[in-house]
Structure 1
Amino acid sequence: MSVPISGPATAFVIEDDPFARWALGQYLESLRFTVLTAETYIDASALIAGHPPPRLAVVDLALRDNPAEPIPQSRSRGITLVHALKRRDPAVAVVIWSAYGGTIAPILPLLTSGYTGLAYVAKGSPQEALHDAITHALRQDVFFQPGIDHAATDSWEQMFLDALEPAVAATVVKLARCFDELTPQQRAVAERMACTTEAIAHQLGIRVTTVRKYIDAIYDRLELKDTETVAGYRREVLLALAHILRRLRTTA
């Protein structure tokens, strides 16, 4: 499975371990990325604020404020950085790269926000696993490295649904089931609804006007044409959540 990039692309590597940061940078440069790195949470925040959104970011979950600090037990700083990246551009592909297990709990708010283009891979994994994670994230998929925290995977789907309001969860379950009624082209667009119309067009190699026609057809087929929101969730977010649910079922 080849990494889907074309033309110049920037990648952020946010990692406090010097060797891991160097190795990740070397690998991403071999994939033709221009790599910018950050060692600490403060450095990473400045990197995100001071540069255009990258095509890809590899983010460690546990980050220090400065190199002299002990390794923090909290994983919230890495998740905060992922939120910052996604708020700037939902199409940024993010690979969460961490030594910690129990992945679903810290990233659940990312999933329930409807963000796609997310992958998780454990530190020290073979290069092939990192390659797969990058590829899935760049394709705006939701991907968890097979075998990671396997004992918890059966509950990921239920934890995800429990984090949503009941009316939203019911709608998401229905939409996930109805994805199979879409044509392959419509499904490809529906799976990328967390992105802008322009980003979808770029990823699929089609015109923006064509994407808009597909979106209208999707809303019509899934009976969302006259529904702008459900419990405050916009219909494009509901479709993104339905796609995430389908991916969690595949992972489990």
Structure 2
Amino acid sequence: MASIGGGHAVVIEDDEGIRGLIALVLEQMGLNVVAVSNGTDGVEQVGECDPILVTLDVSMPGMDGFETAKRIRAISSAYIIMLTARDEEIDALQGLGAGADDYVLKPFRPRELRARAEAMLRRPRVVEGAPGGSADVPAAVSDADGVSDATAPTPTVVLEHNGVILDPATHIVRREGRELDLTRSEFELLQALLQSGRTVRRKDDLARILRGDAYVANPYVSDADRRGVEVHIGNLRKKLEDNAAAPYLIETVRGVGYRLAAPRDPNEN
């Protein structure tokens, strides 16, 4: 795989051996890596070097991974990959709720971590309007054939439904004129649903979008991936003030996935 050069990454991991392994994997991708052993130093380094990627351990002495993720998300638009123990799947769901974009279960294979990170970095970064965001362009964008194309344009069609407006070019979402603060994963889920209209999007499809392998033939999707989608949708609904029992925007199709609610009558008060 081609390396992705020029960007910074912060590794936050209290285990020295695992910390070194993660740093090596990311350095082989062409990233400039800063590795620290605790959440406090990690947040400080994120503020200093404006990374495009952060890996974050859940179980650390002092400030744990969940609180660290929240603090990082408050100052940075970096992708966050959370590392969690295999027998603590709930950590992954809590991590997503704290602002992480993806997670890798421990023990992990270096190739799996690299594949997740590379898929994530093929997705556009926030262009402006987010904490720590800059005018960076994506290192690469995958086309429908899975081929990286650094010159591929960002979609510019503005999407709107029932008072919610999403602009892919500026990465801004507004509801009734008020700008919403969405994570990258929440934005991508909302964009996928708005593009699909009343067509149901299956949880597996949405999980692949979040992992960056939407165009890979028959990729494996775990129950944890599906639950991760549910967590993101739940957080998205809260920010949209969308009641799941009587939704104006996102409907749940039980046992299948999600779709947009019916268009509202413009004459309704």
Q: Is the 8 A contact 1:59 1:95 kept in 2?
A: yes
Q: Is the 8 A contact 1:53 1:88 kept in 2?
A: no
- Distance (Å, rounded) in 2 between the aligned partners of 1:16 and 1:243: 36
From 110, 116, 121, the equivalent of 1:138 is 121
Report what 2:110 is aligned to. 127
Report what 2:158 is aligned to. 218
From 72, 76, 82, the equivalent of 1:89 is 76
Report what 2:174 is aligned to. 228
Q: Is the 8 A contact 2:40 2:68 kept in 1?
A: no
Report what 1:45 is aligned to. 43
Worse-superposed segment, 7-16 or 223-232: 223-232
Q: CA deviation at 1:4?
A: 6.5
Report what 1:27 is aligned to. 25
Deviations 1:149-187 (A, max 9, x none): xxxxxxxxxxxxxxxxxxxxxxxxxxxxxxxxxxxxxxx
Q: CA deviation at 1:122?
A: 1.2
Worse-superposed segment, 99-108 or 127-136: 99-108
- Give 3-state SS (helix, strand or coil) of 1:45's partner: helix
Q: Which letter maps to 2:53?
A: L
- Give 3-state SS (helix, strand or coil) of 1:82's partner: helix
- Distance (Å, rounded) in 2 between the aligned partners of 1:95 and 1:41: 14
Unpaired runs of 5+ residues, structure 2, are 142-149, 167-172, 193-202, 209-220, 227-269
- Distance (Å, rounded) in 2 between the aligned partners of 1:44 and 1:54: 11
Q: Is the 8 A contact 1:53 1:85 kept in 2?
A: no
The residue correspondences of 1:1-252 to structure 2 (distance < 5 A) are 2=1, 5=4, 7-49=5-47, 51-65=48-62, 77-90=64-77, 92-99=78-85, 100-110=88-98, 118-140=101-123, 195-196=126-127, 202-203=137-138, 205=150, 211=154, 214-215=155-156, 217-219=157-159, 224=164, 228-229=174-175, 234=180, 239-242=187-190, 247-248=206-207, 251-252=225-226
Report what 2:267 is aligned to. none
Deviations 1:26-68 (A, max 9, x none): 222222221111112232233234x131121111011113xxx
Between 1 and 2, higher relative CO (CA 8 Å, sep ≥ 6) is seen in: 1
Q: Give the % identical residues.
A: 15
TM-score by length of 2: 0.52
Q: CA deviation at 1:85?
A: 2.5
Name the CA shift for 1:95/1:219 in 2 (closer, same or farther; >3 Å).
Answer: same
Q: Tell me the matched-pair count.
A: 176
Q: Which letter maps to 2:190?
A: A
Q: CA deviation at 1:95?
A: 1.3
Name the CA shift for 1:93/1:39 in 2 (closer, same or farther; >3 Å).
Answer: same
Q: CA deviation at 1:133?
A: 1.5
Name the CA shift for 1:234/1:206 in 2 (closer, same or farther; >3 Å).
Answer: farther
Q: Which letter maps to 2:102?
A: A
Name the CA shift for 1:131/1:223 in 2 (closer, same or farther; >3 Å).
Answer: same
- Distance (Å, rounded) in 2 between the aligned partners of 1:130 and 1:136: 10
- Distance (Å, rounded) in 2 between the aligned partners of 1:225 and 1:102: 32
